[in-house]
Structure 1
């Protein structure tokens, strides 16, 4: 089956991983061997970008920007609309490739492609709403307003856990704003990116889009470093670990460029005494084990009121025993593999640290073995009873380890929720209006996302996505996130016969 999918998406045994939009370069960089954590099988090889290839791509993108920025925004939106239609036609095949290459469940693979379709729809409408403000001037006979102009090249560095969706969040908005894009996907999931480039190419050709609007440069860490340091790239959008984001942010900041950072999460759900425990269970389990705990919005911590702690943790443990772990292309399975054996080792190391720091396990973890788990990347989702102050709990564990702890007062729970370096997503489960409003108030969650009676994982594209503190402060996707891809310009027009100065300053000649 997977061979049919690869053929449909134009993935061969050997693939070029560098494109200036419609054309592919004969890349001269290193070769990536792409394999699947599902079964450990080699899928294909990818030729990555050399520094010479990279410079060719950037030069092509610069030239394209000079033309693309002059296209009316609704015309650019029409191109994005057609890309959305192309993604609809390829949703099943692309969703299966994402699932197989990354290891997330098939439903999540389909969901990721649906996110791409949704952001296309959002961007199409937005292409007719890129607006500024008008302001009253203090000077008679003057009009003052602001407008927004495209920046130029948007460099997109994406992570393995969402190999295609996060690129689309950035690219679709950047394109309707008049920017061009250079995408550096994760070296762990290059084939999904190459498939997207093939899907988009037919739309670009049909609309005579300038060569260089949609570029792809596969490669390793050095490729990302080229983008971060490149003064020709005014905006770098990077998704990944806090460690990576600090490195990117410092390099981009040193050249006074702009960075849009979506980094680590250490997300908590507060379960109050007034929570609907059955509904809470669904949000907590999916949040903790979805994508095998490899989402930036995965639920890492449960802060449970002492009066319902025993009841709820028993429900959790029972639900975990019902989880089906296996090949994610089998829709009956809930949990697939971790991305690779390095991730497995980090999972095992985290378990040992929990024990060393005084925690205990309500549901034990471990690596699964046997023919069905031959890749060596399948692990057991586990639950650990801990204290919030444990060093391991303060760290983002990118694996299906759920930390549970007790609280007695709602103010204490909110303080525990906030007392970690990260600030992405948060949630409270309660039917108590006062608790819900306190959680959403200035004295409540310090995260970029705060939910009531839904989990931490699974954001709609209509809202701006991003977090605070070590999560980076960036915002992508919905609301007014489009402004990150543009530059603001304030304009004043004097239509009078005089030239008065602001603040009443006199300068007579």
Structure 2
């Protein structure tokens, strides 16, 4: 997929013909609509590497050709980030909070425009795009308050006249490698906490969503400049895997936050840890919803429907597995099948659209492989099962887009050891199975390698206790009467097992972005040893 989007940098003087739809969105965010676009920022905009094409998944239109980072520019950007950190760590934390407040205001002023760009370049519907920007705004609010509350601890000492302190200090440069499905919010989670902690960040976005990163960085860079802060405090390097590798391998980047596949996450984790760096991994999410016979189906059906088809099934928290109690399985599937069959694709920029495209041609391949496997094993496909034909898409300008039918299927086997259930399919495919006892469903929920999000639908407090207790769901996000997707920023976000154990956003996630020191202070006139050790001389 990536190679097909890269063109030699000799085309740096090319021009392009944009639709008015795309041109208006880019212009509103000060992204050039002619010529190539610089995709590197370290205090100044540049780009001497390969040219990456940004393609609109709704239409197939080439939105821009972005000049990515050359190896030399990567080296320079990392050096400038280190220098910027040395400056920024000395800015008092409440002043860092004020800068975050200004970033928050600047982002909020462009919330609708950024949301439209996310829809244009990533493909999610407009309300989800705007909601993603709102996540960035919200985490900035959170980090502003956090800048005055990043507290350590005072611990009682066993020695008279001594105190023990646990002290957080700025860590260094934080590398953020984000994925295409949330091209703005995931960076926001990391940037806000990183800046509050006194760090510099360097961002390597997905090579298929460079314009979102350029637009966000442009907004942030203006705020930094107005405050006399080096631009490399929030640097950007677009590019392919080589750009990501440069950050992951750099000893000048003590913390790397990576969002992506389990396969690549394993490589990132090993590489960072081999140099004794810190790593935050947000990887696969093979998420399950369980519906008990006492559940309110009027709540459960639309929530599970959104969990399965929101962002065209390309959220890390998308619902992939649905376990239905035998008593309500037929009724639930009948209701769910009806909403699936009523769904129609459309332009994600239109307010009434609920289903946009998948992100790329590679996403089409993932979907088609999954559907073909369901057909090969003779699963009962209740809805979907193929790409949309042009006749199914009313707007002619969308005929070149990547539109697929959300698929609802009931495989014959519910054995959680089967590859069908063990593997995350990053597409709008929901597989269903029927259970008899909650303990059985919890076992199925926990039987997969991934552990990001899970959801139980019930009105029985005893079921809730089992679900969130010691023998319950083993995922990082454990919901009750709430779908698997759509987390708020206040709690730490992340998963367990092969999802990577990383935590971002709220809760205690900020503690990963600082350097901790235990400091014992002796303010007495004697120097006794701990544990009563006597070493008199």
Quickly name the TM-score band, shorter chain normalised: over 0.9
Structure 2 equivalent of residue 469 of structure 1: 497
Q: CA deviation at 1:376?
A: 4.2
Equivalent pair of 1:139/1:500 in contact (CA under 8 Å): yes
Structure 2 equivalent of residue 424 of structure 1: 452
Q: 1:261 aligned to 2:281? A: yes
Q: 1:378 aligned to 2:403? A: yes
User: Partners of 1:496 and 1:201 in 2: how far apart?
Assistant: 49
Relative to 1, partners in 2 of residues 1:239 and 1:316: Cα closer, same or farther, differing over 3 Å? Answer: same
Structure 2 equivalent of residue 508 of structure 1: 536
Q: In the comparison of the two structures, how many residue pairs are matched?
A: 507
Selected match of 2:214 from 190, 194, 217: 194
Equivalent pair of 1:357/1:390 in contact (CA under 8 Å): no
Match of 1:212, SS?
Answer: helix
Q: CA deviation at 1:211?
A: 3.5
Q: 1:399 aligned to 2:417? A: no
User: Partners of 2:374 and 2:170 in 1: how far apart?
Assistant: 48
Equivalent pair of 1:260/1:474 in contact (CA under 8 Å): yes
User: Partners of 1:363 and 1:73 in 2: how far apart?
Assistant: 53
Selected match of 1:294 from 291, 314, 319: 314
User: Partners of 1:62 and 1:51 in 2: how far apart?
Assistant: 17
Q: Which runs of 4+ in 1 moved over 6 A?
A: none
User: Partners of 1:482 and 1:135 in 2: how far apart?
Assistant: 21
Q: CA deviation at 1:355?
A: 2.5
User: Partners of 1:474 and 1:161 in 2: how far apart?
Assistant: 18
User: Partners of 2:39 and 2:460 in 1: how far apart?
Assistant: 53
Match of 2:475, SS?
Answer: coil
Q: How does 1:95-110 map to 2 (within 5 A)?
A: 95-110=115-130
Q: Normalization by structure 1: what TM-score?
A: 0.98
**Which runs of 5 or more residues in structure 2 are unaligned?**
1-20, 391-395
Structure 2 equivalent of residue 47 of structure 1: 67
Q: How does 1:41-120 map to 2 (within 5 A)?
A: 41-120=61-140
Equivalent pair of 1:326/1:372 in contact (CA under 8 Å): no
Structure 1 equivalent of residue 29 of structure 2: 9
Q: Normalization by structure 2: what TM-score?
A: 0.93
Equivalent pair of 1:327/1:372 in contact (CA under 8 Å): no
Structure 1 equivalent of residue 373 of structure 2: 353
Relative to 1, partners in 2 of residues 1:253 and 1:63: Cα closer, same or farther, differing over 3 Å? Answer: same
Match of 1:260, SS?
Answer: strand
Selected match of 1:127 from 119, 144, 147: 147
**CA displacement, residues 164-191 of structure 1 (integer Å, 9 cap, x when unaligned):** 1100000010001001000000001000
Equivalent pair of 1:368/1:376 in contact (CA under 8 Å): no
Match of 2:231, SS?
Answer: coil
Q: CA deviation at 1:201?
A: 1.6
**CA displacement, residues 304-343 of structure 1 (integer Å, 9 cap, x when unaligned):** 0001000000000001112121111111111100111111
Q: 1:24 aligned to 2:45? A: yes
User: Partners of 1:493 and 1:289 in 2: how far apart?
Assistant: 56
Selected match of 1:161 from 171, 181, 186: 181
- Worse overlay, 180-189 or 355-364: 355-364
Equivalent pair of 1:98/1:163 in contact (CA under 8 Å): yes
- Worse overlay, 304-313 or 319-328: 319-328
- Worse overlay, 369-378 or 2-11: 369-378
Structure 2 equivalent of residue 456 of structure 1: 484
Selected match of 2:192 from 164, 167, 172: 172
User: Partners of 1:375 and 1:440 in 2: how far apart?
Assistant: 45
CA RMSD of aligned residues (A): 1.0
Equivalent pair of 1:369/1:376 in contact (CA under 8 Å): no
Structure 2 equivalent of residue 278 of structure 1: 298
